[in-house]
């Protein structure tokens, strides 16, 4: 073979060999391993169900949880820590407060030195509570419902007398304490609570009167809540009292709505786990 043909053939072979080495670099993934994976969206989450018993007279659903200390905050799954009462005995001349709402109960007492934020007549309620009560009584009257105040503010000493009297009347301290607070553990001492009835029927029977039914359906509109609902004694510490209403203000009371079984403890994140 002539020399020029030999040189040309050798050069072509070297170029082919180099091209073959560069086609698939060492360590490159196989084409089959690079195929895109189809996107599968996560299924929508199921809304949490309310633990409150359903209303028996109104189809109103539960209102959103408040963004308060001790409640779940929007956009998060974990609840905030449960509020803790860090007052000493000497500091109980002021109420345990969560998000500006005073809480007085068996678990969160006040002492004889507690003073209301303001005083009005004729029931000794705070001025704001009395104004709201006046509006509510007028609205009920316009609807043909008569509301009467049976009890408003009570002092520490008066509450002690009432409990002692009820223990003698019932013949059982345990039973008396289901309906009657010890001094320092009654909301009546705050001037924020009021016992309401129609002036005729008292006791648990209040729930079946026109006054009782109207209050349960409408008190929230004026800032009041049924403080001790049926079936919630393990949370509130007190038996069902269809006459006892607590003033919160129209803002917080909207979270309860009509015919609500919700408790203040549940609203503020204070209910037992």
Active site residues: 241
CB atoms within 10 A of CB 97: 15
Q: What are phi and psi of 208, to 5 degrees?
A: -100, 0
Q: What is the 3-state secondary structure (H, E, C) of the chain?
A: CCHHHHHHHHHHHHHHHHHHHHCCCCCCCCHHHHCCCCCCCCCCCCCCCCCCCCCCCCCCCCCCCCCCCCCECCCCCCECCCCCCCCCHHHCCCCEEECCEEECCCCCCCCCCCCCCCCCCCCCCCHHHHHHHHHHHHHHHHCCCCCEEEECCCCHHHHHHHHHHHHHHHCCHHHHHHHCCCCCCCHHHHCCEEEEECCCCCHHHHHHCHHHHHHHHHHHHHCEEECCCCCCHHHHCCCCCCCEEEECCHHHHCCCCCCCCCCHHHHHCCCCC
8 Å CB contact between 101 and 268: yes
The first and second tokens of residue 168, run together, are: 């003698």
Bridge partners for 244 per DSSP? 195
């Amino acid at each position: 073979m002539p020399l020029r043909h030999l040189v040309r053939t050798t050069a072509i072979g070297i170029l082919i060999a180099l091209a073959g080495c560069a086609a698939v670099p060492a360590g490159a993934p196989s084409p089959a391993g690079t195929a895109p994976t189809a996107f599968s969206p996560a299924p929508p989450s199921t809304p949490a169900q309310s633990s409150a018993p359903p209303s028996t007279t109104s189809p109103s659903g539960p209102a959103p949880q408040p963004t308060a200390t001790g409640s779940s905050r929007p956009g998060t799954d974990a609840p905030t820590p449960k509020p803790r009462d860090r007052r000493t005995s000497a500091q109980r001349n002021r109420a345990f407060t969560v998000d500006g709402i005073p809480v007085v109960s068996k678990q969160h007492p006040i002492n004889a030195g507690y003073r209301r934020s303001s005083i009005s007549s004729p029931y000794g309620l705070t001025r704001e509570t009395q104004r709201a009560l006046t509006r509510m009584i007028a609205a009920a009257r316009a609807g043909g419902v008569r509301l009467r105040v049976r009890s408003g503010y009570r002092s520490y000493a008066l509450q002690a007398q009432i409990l002692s009297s009820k223990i003698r009347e019932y013949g059982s301290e345990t039973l008396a304490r289901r309906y009657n607070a010890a001094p320092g553990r009654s909301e009546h001492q705050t001037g924020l609570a009021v016992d309401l009835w129609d002036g005729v029927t008292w006791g648990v029977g209040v729930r079946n009167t026109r006054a009782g039914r109207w209050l349960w359906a409408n008190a929230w509109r004026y800032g009041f809540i049924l403080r001790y609902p049926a079936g919630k004694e393990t949370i509130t510490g007190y038996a069902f009292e269809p006459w006892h209403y607590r003033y919160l203000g129209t803002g917080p009371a909207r979270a309860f709505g009509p015919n609500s079984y919700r408790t203040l403890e549940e609203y503020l994140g204070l209910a037992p786990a």
